[in-house]
A = this chain, B = another copy of it.
Amino acid sequence: MTLEEIYGPVKDDLKLVEAMLGQIAGSDIPLLSDMLEFALLNVGKRLRPAVTLLSGKFYNYDLDLLVPMAAAAEVLHIGTLVHDDMIDSSAMRHGKQAVYRKYGVNNAILLGDYLFSRAGSLAAMTDNLRVIKRFSETLMTISGGELREGRVGFDPCSARDNYYQWIRDKTACLFVMAAECGSVLSGCPEGQVAALKDYALNFGLAFQIIDDILDFVGDQSILGKPIGSDLSEGAITLPSIIYSELNPSDSIISEIIIQRRKELVPQAVGKVRSSGVIDDCRKIAGQFYLKACNSLEKLPDCQARRSLAALAEFVIDREW
């Protein structure tokens, strides 16, 4: 299935989200307007809005609430990317310059701050206190999580646990928010809200693991960023962790992470690729995918549920 087919049940409504993002990009401050257009429009697959809308499809599907919420999820996501790219010194995003490279560090800090508050303002349009509170908590989780030790150090014994905690905080929690808010806004019973949150958590973990795999084996031109970026930026992800676990006498990963020996990155990428570790990672991502699908079983069978399942499969099989 193509992404367009998967998005079928919410295809027209995603256009409303897109239109709202277009409105948001307008500002009476020319530099801000310019930056918003660059950062918000024609980027990404709009996965978080899609999860929000699809999660709202099971009960009372109210576009007046769901469209701003879907936009809030996307704007929050993009705000975190703007700051993350700066923190990670990533030069490219979605095949274009990172915002801080195009507009400078100071403007990128302010744009991120603006996007967070804009997203909060969109979430507040729902007039739903639970949704609004979940929104604030999500940004707390994302920014606080990045300050965990796991992000900078490398302790082989706790590396996997730290990694899962890290990707839960930085990636999965936003999908969880999207699913929870989408379903809560449609008046979904709590059991099914929980099922959708569980789906989103596992979906998010699988999504991030695939992301981290692609950083070793992906196609640079499709990804829009160089292979080995994570290691270059000092981020230790699942492939590096499993490689280090299986090869305790090979210190190449910790030399890159701790001694910042970036020149070793291509060699490390080669070692990981030829080691079979990538297959192990794919299996783990596959397990999270299965958990995500199992969670959906608790929901009524309908087109939206099939779309969520297909979306998880699409994400697992993706090359971008």
Contacts and interface: CB of A to CB of B under 8 A. Distances in A.
Given A106-B87, A109-B86, A120 B147 contact: no
Interface string A271-308: 00000000000000000000000000000000000000
Contact of A137 (B32, B121, B136): B121
Contacts of A43: none
A311 B124 CA distance: 33
A-B CB proximity, top 3 nearest: A117-B139, A113-B143, A121-B136
A27 B140 CA distance: 11
A34 to B, nearest CB: 10
Contacts of A44: none
Given A117-B139, A133-B121, A133-B124, A144 B32 contact: yes
Contact of A127 (B106, B129, B140): B129
Contacts of A83: 109-110, 113
Given A32-B144, A117-B143, 11 more contacts: A29-B144, A31-B149, A32-B147, A35-B147, A111-B147, A114-B144, A116-B116, A117-B137, A118-B140, A121-B140, A124-B129
A129 B144 CA distance: 25
Identical copies of this chain, number: 2
A117 B146 contact: no
A117 B114 contact: no
Interface string A121-135: 100100101001101
A56 interface: no
A138 B112 CA distance: 15
A146 B32 CA distance: 10
Contacts of A15: none
9 contacts: A27-B144, A29-B149, A30-B149, A31-B148, A86-B109, A87-B106, A114-B140, A117-B138, A124-B129
B129 A113 contact: no
Contacts of A30: 149
A30 B144 CA distance: 10
Contacts of A144: 27, 29, 32, 110, 114
A67 to B, nearest CB: 17
